[in-house]
Structure 1
Amino acid sequence: MNAMRQLALPFAEPHRFSPEDFCPAPSNAGARAWLAAPERWSNGRLILHGEAGVGKTHLLHIWAGQVRAQIIEGAALRGLPQIAGPLAIDDADAIPEPTALLHLLNAAREFGFAVLLASRLAPHRMGYKLADLTSRLRASSEVEIRPPEDELLEMLLLRLAAERQLNLSIPVRNLLMLHLPRSGFYYREAIARLDRLALDRSARITRGLATDIVTEMLSET
């Protein structure tokens, strides 16, 4: 399951990143503790890292809202962008122009602005060939968000279903939790597809319907 590539999102709506929608759990407790203590961040920087779907981007958006940080998508980071306050950089391990990230880290340090970065990879595994950037990243505080617990996944599943006013029976929940990758990404996509398929067929959500969705999703990997 861990080797599965990320699916396209033909159905799912944009995610909501409000504090009320975040599910606290032991797997993300360390990250939440670090975010609550910015004075502990080495050089004013913190890197949240972990596999896809564990809540990195959600926490990044919550923090950005609290401190009014500028949110930057890593894939769009190029050139010499200007900064005017704290920074929240998502997908920090997938930046096309590493010099742009180095510039931001240097500027933030110079002006005393905090920087939060989210990455699938820990700093020592990011693989940037720019020595100064690697040095800055490794000199940052870091915390891993671990894979979600069963209780967290079930809580997320029920919350996603409730948002769409869907009723998931215990057999349906068990099937989804047994066969889907253990990632919020796949749970959101599965619920979106179940909602669409149930509407298209004017049918209630049964174990057979859920099996169709899981089979469809697994065939796309």
Structure 2
Amino acid sequence: MPRQLPLPLLPREAVEIEPIPDSSNAVARTWLGDPTSWPAGRLALHGPEGSGKSALLAQAARRLGLRRLSGPALRGVPEGAPTALDDADCAAEEPALFHLINACAAGGHLLLMAGREPPSRWEAHLPDLASRLRATAAAPLGQPTDHLLRALLARHFARRQLRVEPAVQDWLLARLPREAAALAEAAARLDRAALADGGGVTRALARVCLAGLIDGSGEGAPEEDDDSVAGSGVASASMGTLL
């Protein structure tokens, strides 16, 4: 029997932001709300980068008592246990993923996975692994909506106790990549820059500290005063209900 190796636990700091209910993740939240509906106790979340897969997986892992593992570090012959596997489509070793699926099924344990594509499209050279992936229920996540991005950016600022005028937030949302990681990075940079500058967050400050992150395609247009309302292309919306 192949020897078992220590399991690669996913660092808690990798995903700490709670997911925000949104139409883009409604289907996935429905599936996650009823684990008894998962065929063979197995479910895979899938969606584009920045759609919130990791946040949903982490929240479900805490609620359901699943150990959290990382696909890129998955090796050996994992023991069966209730498991949440992030980046499962990037598993370091196909046999390890195959053994994990089998071990969870044999023990009647829940297995929640996340990847960019549906599991039926994950690269699998082992025929038996490909068969099990095709039989895995898939819950899609769409691109984040304007509402979700606005609420997420506001949450980052609130957690840092960073006051940012709505007009500046509009300006940022019109230029930042539509990804959760980009919003988190922007908030961290602005927080450091505002502390160093000793002032508030303005568009002028954002242009400097977010260089390389924001879209500069509109920078040639005449600028309004930072206190004026900036046209963002993002419809005004309240933060909505956050988890």
User: TM class, shorter-chain normalised?
Assistant: 0.7 to 0.9
Given that 1:52 and 1:185 are in contact with CA atoms closer than 8 Å, whether structure 2 keeps it comes out as no
Shift of 1:133: 1.1
Q: Residue 51 of structure 1: SS of its match in structure 2? A: coil
The 10-residue stretch of structure 1 (27-36 or 116-125) with the greater mean CA deviation from structure 2: 116-125
**One-letter amino acid matched to 2:38:** W
**1:24 and 2:21 correspond:** yes
Map of 1:54-93 to 2, 5 A cutoff?
Answer: 54-83=51-80, 85-93=81-89
Question: Relative contact order (C-alpha < 8 Å, sep 6+): which is higher?
Answer: 1
- Match of 1:157, SS state, is helix
1:102 corresponds in structure 2 to 98
* Distance across 2 between alignment mates of 1:193 and 1:15: 18
Partner in structure 2 of residue 156 of structure 1: 152
Task: Provide structure 1 residue ranges, at least 5 long, that are not aligned to the other structure.
Answer: 1-12
Radius of gyration: which is bigger? 2
Runs of at least 5 residues in structure 2 that lack an aligned partner in the other structure: 1-12, 216-243
Q: Within 1, Cα distance between the matches of 2:154 and 2:79?
A: 42
Name the CA distance, whole Å, in 2 between partners of 1:94 and 1:14: 16
| Cα-Cα RMSD | 1.6
The equivalent of 1:174 in structure 2 is 170
Matches of 2:95 and 2:65, distance apart in 1? 25
Q: List per-residue Cα deviations over 1:51-97 (Å, max 9, x = no partner).
A: 122211111111111221111111110011223x3110000011110
CA contact (8 A) 2:15 2:58 kept: no
Looking at secondary structure, tell me which structure has more helix per residue. 1
Q: Which range moves more in the overlay, 182-191 or 56-65? A: 56-65
How high is the TM-score relative to the length of structure 2?
A: 0.79
- SS where residue 46 of structure 1 aligns? strand
Q: Structure 2: which amino acid aligns with 1:40?
A: S
The letter of the residue matching 1:55 is G
- Which amino acid letter does the alignment assign opposite residue 153 of structure 1? L
Cα distance in 2, alignment partners of residues 209 and 62 from structure 1: 34
* Corresponding residue SS for 1:53: coil
**Amino acid across the alignment from 1:82:** E
Aligned-partner SS, 1:75 = helix
Q: Residue 196 of structure 2 corresponds to which residue in structure 1?
A: 200
Aligned position for 1:187: 183
Give, in whole Å, the separation in 2 of the partners of 1:30 and 1:119. Answer: 16
Shift of 1:14: 5.3
Contact 1:171 1:207 survives alignment (8 Å): no
Which of 20, 35, 38 is 1:38 aligned to?
A: 35
Q: Secondary structure at the match of 2:149?
A: helix
Counterpart CA distance in 2 for 1:45 and 1:125 is: 16
Aligned residue number for residue 8 of structure 1: none
Paired with 2:214 and 2:200, the residues of 1 have a C-alpha distance of: 22
SS in structure 2 of the partner of residue 203 of structure 1: coil
Calculate the TM-score normalised by the size of structure 1: 0.86
